[in-house]
């Protein structure tokens, strides 16, 4: 019996996207037709999860301007990726507003032209020889994380005849247990493609879309260097339980 004296706030599955959202065509054949079975009594299986404090990270794991070179000989500005230099940062908190320290935040994205460095992406926009598109870091003691990158471009995808993804960065966060595990996407404030996107539209509540929008933060931008976008992540709230089984 381990960690059985806590609970996480129930996930609101009307707030999250449904499995079956036919506007996003791939979900049609990839959504269960049966109901989920609710575990009435959570156990250590769900209430624990990995702690990555001893995962050894590289110096530039959270700096996408520096962590990929097709040709390692390229240095200085010749070794930097093309595109809008940005810092992406924020805080991971739980639903009670409590910071989530030392948790793993991972991200991946396309380059400035909307092309992914993935062998399955055949979009005609070129790869950037100085951009890989992957980052990771742990949140600090107060729950803050940060990445340096370029703003990704929108890209077309085969859904409707002319569907384009808004600029987005995929974000993955573990939180304190597998119950809080979350993968989402950060969109950029003001992008007119957001309301047109079938994947964004899997969400039924416009307020939920707001939770996925990174905000331009001029105060944290660096003059003559890079802009900053803030994206806070909220994971399920953790609460202690009392008087169970007594």
Partner 1 sequence: MKQPNSQPTAALLLRETASQTAGPYVHIGLALDVAGLPERDEEIWNRMARPEAEGEHIEVVGTVIDGNGDLVRDALLEAWQADARGEYRPEFDLEQPFNGFGRTATTAEGASEWRLETVKPGAVTRGDGRVMAPHINLAIFARGVNIQLQTRLYFEDEAEANAACPVLNAVESPARRQTLIARREEVDGRVRYRFDIRLQGEGETVFFDF
| Residues forming the active site | 116, 155, 165, 168, 170
Question: Under rule CB under 8 A, which residues in 70-129 are in contact with partner 1?
Answer: 93-97, 106-108, 110, 116-121
* DSSP structure class, residue 226: B
Shortest approach of partner 1 to residue 181 CB, angstroms?
A: 6
198-202: Cβ within 8 A, 24+ apart:
198/21, 198/23, 198/24, 198/25, 198/159, 198/160, 198/163, 199/24, 199/165, 200/166, 201/21, 201/23, 201/24, 202/17, 202/18, 202/21, 202/23, 202/24, 202/27
- Candidates 13-21, 77-85, 142-150, 219-227; binding stretch for partner 1 (CB under 8 A): 13-21
Asked whether position 32 contacts partner 1 by CB under 8 A, the answer is yes
- Is residue 245 within the footprint of partner 1 (CB under 8 A)? yes
Compute the least distance from the CB of residue 226 to partner 1, in Å. 21
Name residues contacting partner 1, limited to 168-197 (CB under 8 A). Answer: 170, 172, 178-179, 181-185
* Beta carbon of residue 237, minimum distance to partner 1 (angstroms, whole number): 6
Longest CA–CA separation in the chain, Å? 67
- Least CB distance to partner 1 at residue 129 (A): 13
Candidate segments 138-146, 188-196, 218-226, 227-235, binder of partner 1 by CB under 8 A: 227-235
Residue 61 interacting with partner 1 (CB under 8 A)? yes
Report the distance separating Cα 165 and Cα 39, nearest Å: 35
Near partner 1 by CB under 8 A: residue from 113, 188, 233, 238: 233
Q: Which is nearer to partner 1, 23 or 82 (CB)?
A: 23
Least CB distance to partner 1 at residue 224 (A): 30
User: Looking at beta carbons only, is 84 or 232 nearer to partner 1?
Assistant: 232
Q: Which stretch binds partner 1 (CB under 8 A): 39-47, 77-85, 142-150, 220-228?
A: 39-47
- Candidate list 23, 52, 99, 125; residue touching partner 1; CB under 8 A: 52
41 makes contact with partner 1 (CB under 8 A): yes
Question: Counting contacts by CB under 8 A, is residue 222 touching partner 1?
Answer: no
Give CA–CA dist 40/32, Å, rounded.
20
Q: What does DSSP say about strands 163-165 and 155-157: parallel, antiparallel, or unpaired?
A: antiparallel
Per the structure block, which two tokens stand in for 15? 């707030």
Task: Indicate the Cα dihedral angle 188, 192, 95, 109, nearest 10°.
Answer: -40
205 lies in the binding site for partner 1 (CB under 8 A): yes
Q: Which residue has the tokens 């639903």?
A: 95
Cα Rg, the chain, nearest whole Å = 20
**Residue with token string 């609970």:** 7
């Amino acid at each position: 019996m381990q960690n059985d004296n806590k609970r996480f706030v129930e996930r609101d599955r009307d707030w999250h996207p449904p499995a079956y959202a036919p506007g996003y065509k791939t979900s049609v054949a990839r959504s269960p037709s049966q109901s989920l079975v609710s575990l009435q009594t959570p156990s250590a299986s769900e209430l624990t999860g990995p702690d990555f404090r001893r995962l050894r990270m590289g110096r530039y794991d959270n700096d996408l301007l520096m962590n990929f070179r097709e040709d390692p000989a390229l240095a200085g500005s010749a070794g930097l990726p093309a595109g809008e230099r940005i810092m992406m940062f924020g805080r991971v908190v739980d639903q009670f507003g409590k910071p989530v320290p030392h948790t793993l935040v991972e991200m991946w994205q396309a380059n400035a032209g909307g092309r992914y460095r993935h062998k399955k992406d055949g979009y005609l926009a070129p790869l950037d020889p100085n951009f890989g598109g992957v980052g990771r870091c742990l949140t600090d003691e107060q729950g803050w994380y940060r990445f340096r990158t370029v703003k990704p471009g929108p890209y077309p995808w085969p859904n409707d005849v002319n569907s384009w993804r808004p600029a987005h960065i995929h974000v993955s966060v573990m939180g304190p247990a597998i119950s809080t595990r979350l993968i989402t996407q950060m969109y950029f404030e003001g992008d007119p493609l957001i309301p047109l996107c079938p994947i964004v539209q899997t969400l039924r509540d416009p307020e939920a879309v707001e939770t996925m929008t990174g905000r331009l933060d001029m105060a944290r931008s660096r003059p003559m260097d890079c802009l900053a976008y803030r994206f806070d992540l909220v994971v399920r709230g953790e609460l202690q339980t009392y008087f169970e089984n007594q």
